Amino acid sequence: MNVLFLTLGNVDIESSGIYADLLRCFRKYGHSIYTVSNRERRYGLQTEVICGDHITNLMILTGNIRQSMLLEKGISTALIPFQYKKAIKKYFSDIKFDLVLYSTPPITLASVVEYVQKRDHARTYLLLKDIFPQNAVDLGVLRKTGLKGILHFYYRLQEKKLYRISDTIGCMSPANCAYLLEHNREVSPNTVEISANCLEIQDMRVNAAHKAELRQKYGLPSEKKIFVYGGNLGRAQDIPFLIACIKACTEIQDAYFVVAGSGVDRHRIETYIKVEKPKNAKLFDRMPREEYDAMIACCDVGLILLDHRFTIPNFPSRLLSYMQAGLPVIVASDNVTDVGSICVEGGFGWSCCSTEVNEFVGCIEQAVASDCTTLGAIAYAYFAEKYSVEKQYEAIIKRTMTRNYK
């Protein structure tokens, strides 16, 4: 089977991640993988096709999108569907695709999906990782009225089109499924299923001796419970809330916080660390994947943070990194996300609202008093049972091989 994967940004199938692991699983079972991604003009590289072991990467020259001015970003984003279709016609004209995989973000590839769907009579499977534009409305980036309301209207049309042309919509959790169907009544429940974030099963846990070595390497205290947040430091994570929580935990002698990552709000916690010099926290820059995994593994509890303003249920993929490393998890989130309840009901975590600093402190106190090694073993076992990429692959194949989708 020929599988086309559409995305923005670099696609490294040999790396670790929810998309790379899934594509490798397809390759493992004999399918031919074709990826289409973009190369921003800033890198000075032209459109290129690179062929590997049962995988062909088409990287298309586009305008700058990330870390660019709003006007340039807007124009570049608007041109991408036309550039992708033109490149697919040129470089993949002799390839008949059986399955098209694509994720959100972005939602603006709907016309590209539709083109391949009609041309090749291909099955289409949406990996719904982000409900946009509502997430941008929740965080105040977009509005439903005024000038920004025009953008919202356009993006909402693109979102609905993407749902309409998708034979299957794979949602990350039960709450995701419920939200999608409630707010998009035209979507048939028969097209919606749970397709959770998944990874290859790898045991990233370390023994006590190795943990001690890693803590020494990273300059972390040897005897304290270390709570780690790794990932994007942006608006969605409500960094001011994290800072308030770290401040509120200064009297908990056995609690220490590690933050690693980058994002538009990183400067907030960076300024806090430099100015107030807290004795219970340390900030790291964004790390290479292997180093990040090692640093996570020497900690005790993972942190997930979601802004309280969200009305859409998110399911951060960093949860899997914590579980792979055998860490229980504290989730501070909005009231609609179900990731916290999954951790609590699974027996490997705690949950609180991301407006309640006192609740967060209470979760920290409970974790400090708990046997995190035992809870971490439960987290790893849950990961291996529920979030194996093999399960996701089997579900997609089952749908692909079924003729009557809708």
Each residue's pLDDT tens digit, 97-146: 999 999 987 788 999 999 999 999 999 999 999 888 888 887 888 888 88
The pLDDT tens digits for 155-200 are 889 899 999 999 999 999 999 999 999 999 999 999 999 999 999 9
Task: Say if CB 167 and CB 406 are below 8 A apart.
Answer: yes
Lowest mean pLDDT segment, chosen from 148-157, 188-197, 248-257, 306-315: 148-157
Find the angle CA(250)-CA(259)-CA(237) to the nearest 5 degrees. Answer: 100
- CATH fourth-level superfamily of 208-386: Glycogen Phosphorylase B; (3.40.50.2000)
The pLDDT tens digits for 341-374 are 999 999 999 999 999 999 999 999 999 999 999 9
The pLDDT tens digits for 380-404 are 999 999 999 999 999 999 888 765 4
| One fold for 2-199+388-400 and 208-386 | yes
Predicted confidence at residue 370, as pLDDT, reads 96
Say if residue 83's pLDDT is above 70: yes
Q: How confident is the model at residue 234 (pLDDT cuts 50, 70, 90)?
A: confident
Q: In the chain, where are the structural domains located?
A: 2-199+388-400, 208-386
CATH architecture under which domain 2-199+388-400 falls: 3-Layer(aba) Sandwich (3.40)
Q: How confident is the model at residue 56 (pLDDT cuts 50, 70, 90)?
A: very high
In angstroms, the Cα distances linking 232 to 74, 82, 128, 156 are 22, 30, 19, 25
Say if residue 89's pLDDT is above 60: yes
Predicted confidence at residue 10, as pLDDT, reads 81
User: In angstroms, rounded to a whole number, what is the distance separating the alpha carbons of residues 141 and 143?
Assistant: 7
Mean pLDDT on 292-297: 91
Give per-residue burial for 26-50: e unless 16+ CB within 10 Å, then b: bbeeebbbbbbbbbbeeeeeebeee
Where is pLDDT greater, at 256 or 42? 256
Q: What percent of the chain has pLDDT over 70?
A: 98
* 257: phi then psi, degrees, rounded to nearest 5: -115, 135
The pLDDT tens digits for 316-341 are 999 999 999 999 999 999 999 999 99
